[in-house]
Structure 1
């Protein structure tokens, strides 16, 4: 059986028989895609949709969770060390809540 664990609203973990996969949620707006006018004329749905995209392949759950924490750190818009630490503590709390539930 494979994993399918939502860590928070942005990341989830899945797996196959070889690795743990980190997936990130993306909102896809079909109206911004190339060729939208043609698809719209064919009756395509313009509603934005959620997609989970594979962003990292890890050897185990611990490495996957550490990867998520590192991504939060690298993509943070914090302007002070205390803001960054608050964001990191928040993601660690979210991860801990998933692990203990």
Structure 2
């Protein structure tokens, strides 16, 4: 049997596990995503900007408190989510809504 003792990190999670009387460390890459919704015109502009980067993204439909929203889901490291949100806000202002980007890293 194994027990998780502790887990720390942001982009790489360091997991401390107690197994068979020994403490073992394991590392896992941590990925997250942000979701951006808004008018298709501005989403297309964002898509063209993302094409010039190495970010992986896809068009998706997600729920918020108002119902289903169509937008772009961008996959990235947790440490980059705030920076990505800032860049989108600088480029598009309030024309696009950004979800899941204001989570603080530990």
TM-score (normalised: structure 1): 0.31
Query: Could you say which structure has the higher helix fraction?
Result: 1
- Greater strand proportion: 2
TM-score, structure 2 as length reference: 0.30
